Structure 1
């Protein structure tokens, strides 16, 4: 078979992201049996240690696809009803009328109306995403804080609701996925992390994917540099961080190879049933954390380019790191990219992030990886 991956173009595109200001990044692109892996830049700005394509990495909200898949599996077995009110399962966490009207499905696709708890757990994020008046101090304050997920959920539930349950556009909110974690615990008798590990990570045959059991990343990994829109200069390393502030919403550690394997198995119907996958791909409009309206399914997000088909996957960020994994609807073409700098944009006087050469270079890499 003719190699359909333009490896020279991929090499050039990943180098361009590094040249635009990204300290380090690495990626894997697949087209059928063809695989390209690339890396550019440094994993440690102080020592010059290079990044490699096999490094483990905090993948942020990509975790949500894993959590959603675990919930869909329990729905297939009859332990969870997607359209059952969450109050039937967790009456003390979501009491009263909202518990009676918010369904499990609304949690998975972010149409519950529940607010995001992060601005309340992290005082620096009080104006998030309008960031002109915020600062990074609470990132340092909470580096080793062990958050209680029940307390975080209570913050989100007690905050002013975004809208009515089931209304659209929904609001992308980590509160929803912490509740799904508690739901998995309720119906399986294990922790959400144990349930997802056994039923999703191990089922997919992922060898380098795991939830952290402390603030450190095991195995070869990059430092993660947070710029906080230029307010942290030079960017500070947050690779050591207790991820209990997001838990089953965004704490997973993986590799670009494992991410491609996972999404390949998912779209092949090997993680959830084809009918569950079809439900995961039924989207509604949701307002993202950046304030944009996106289409969102059950733990999956589509990307479309006219004439190029639809891709499915998820992105994620943590303090200092980010990742994106996407797979074409036919399962053939895949991309997973990891970066070790976050919030590299400067802000204008209104607190709006300004375009940066990294944005353009990353978009070009994504285009080459996904569409050739």
Structure 2
């Protein structure tokens, strides 16, 4: 691990346009913490590597692990139809055809509810006709998860159950939250906290209890493809628009600890871990074709080594966590700006120096 090279790489991301970012890199017993830039562009308050951060869909790995624990205990059938457990939410033939596995790996064919909850994002993820107004309109909106699920279930299907490529959809994971609550008799937040977060010994990871992030944290600046200029702070936000499957608050150190223990078989058993690493082609929310497992997906470094993890975004913030298959090498990074790419005439995000700088940071962090 080259600390100087890592410091240079993280500073280059700041220079490329991210207000602030921070990271932890682990290589066996070596640990590097780094931060660059500011947590508040008005006051100049610096970011620090121990800050808490909204980690978005990284929460999906926690949700998937919790569901697989219930599979291990016999309370959930991985290939059982979701209609067996939630017949009112996914009724009829679709409830019979969509399995729990299809929800976890995004091959259910259920549409994303987000464009229906946020009207000005109606073209999401086709971005040409979107706008940021809904972000302000819904900053403090308390969404009902059942209503969000209904938006996704009643929307036109985007595929057939089990068909590939799948399409990444938050509707799937809101249903998994309801499934957890159905079989455990408690809230998903409580179950995941007791059986995943506490089991992993994570000290600074929690679900939000309100609209604020508790403890030291950065402002979160949303640019919405240049339509919000200068970028606006959305660190205060009601996260019910995504629920427990994308609302976790954590630290880069906690994320590395979690993925290290998960891939060592300490959170779910080895059989479940094998299932988590069985991938299918899925189209991401950015429109890219990726391989997706059960709440995990693989990423390769230039040398061909496979890393497992997940990324996540919220309005204004992003995070990425990856761990080598042997658990020896890890990186988690958090940034306080999102959707920095401007759009071309077709509505496609244009290249930005931040993309190249982040890719360079990942390469430095993952290299042996």
Superposition TM-score tier, normalisation by shorter sequence: over 0.9
Aligned to 1:134: 130
- Could you tell me how far 1:134 is from its partner in structure 2? 1.3
| Equivalence map 1:194-213=2 (5 Å) | 194-213=190-209
Match of 2:183 among 182, 187, 198: 187
Is structure 2 residue 255 aligned with structure 1 residue 234? no
Aligned to 2:336: 340
Larger deviation: 341-350 or 124-133? 124-133
Instruction: Check the 8 A contact 1:107/1:176 in 2, yes or no.
Output: yes
Distance in 2 between residues matched to 1:215 and 1:201, nearest whole Å: 21
Match of 2:317 among 311, 314, 321: 321
Aligned to 1:262: 258
Distance in 2 between residues matched to 1:181 and 1:103, nearest whole Å: 14
Distance in 2 between residues matched to 1:283 and 1:306, nearest whole Å: 20
Aligned to 2:354: 358
| Equivalence map 1:275-314=2 (5 Å) | 275-305=271-301, 307-314=303-310
Moved over 6 A (4+): none
Distance in 2 between residues matched to 1:213 and 1:101, nearest whole Å: 36
Aligned to 2:149: 153
Structure 1 counterpart SS, 2:345: coil
- Could you tell me how far 1:307 is from its partner in structure 2? 3.3
- Could you tell me how far 1:129 is from its partner in structure 2? 1.6
Distance in 2 between residues matched to 1:172 and 1:22, nearest whole Å: 26
| Equivalence map 1:52-91=2 (5 Å) | 52-91=48-87
Is structure 2 residue 14 aligned with structure 1 residue 13? no
Match of 2:367 among 348, 366, 371: 371
Distance in 2 between residues matched to 1:90 and 1:64, nearest whole Å: 20
Larger deviation: 244-253 or 176-185? 244-253
Structure 2 counterpart SS, 1:71: helix
Distance in 2 between residues matched to 1:201 and 1:146, nearest whole Å: 25
- Could you tell me how far 1:76 is from its partner in structure 2? 0.2
Instruction: Check the 8 A contact 1:284/1:296 in 2, yes or no.
Output: yes
State the TM-score, normalizing by the size of structure 1. Answer: 0.98
Structure 1 counterpart SS, 2:74: coil
Give per-residue Cα distances to partners, 1:91-142, cap 9 Å, x unaligned: 0000000000100000000000000000000012101122122110010000
Unaligned runs of 5+ in 2: none
Structure 1 counterpart SS, 2:76: coil
- Could you tell me how far 1:308 is from its partner in structure 2? 3.7
- Could you tell me how far 1:371 is from its partner in structure 2? 1.4
Over aligned residues, Cα RMSD in angstroms?
A: 0.7
Unaligned runs of 5+ in 1: none
Distance in 2 between residues matched to 1:206 and 1:306, nearest whole Å: 31
Give per-residue Cα distances to partners, 1:179-229, cap 9 Å, x unaligned: 000000000000011110000000000000000011100000000000000
Distance in 2 between residues matched to 1:216 and 1:124, nearest whole Å: 24
Instruction: Check the 8 A contact 2:302/2:363 in 1, yes or no.
Output: no
Is structure 2 residue 91 aligned with structure 1 residue 99? no
Give per-residue Cα distances to partners, 1:16-40, cap 9 Å, x unaligned: 0000010000000000000000000
Aligned to 1:168: 164
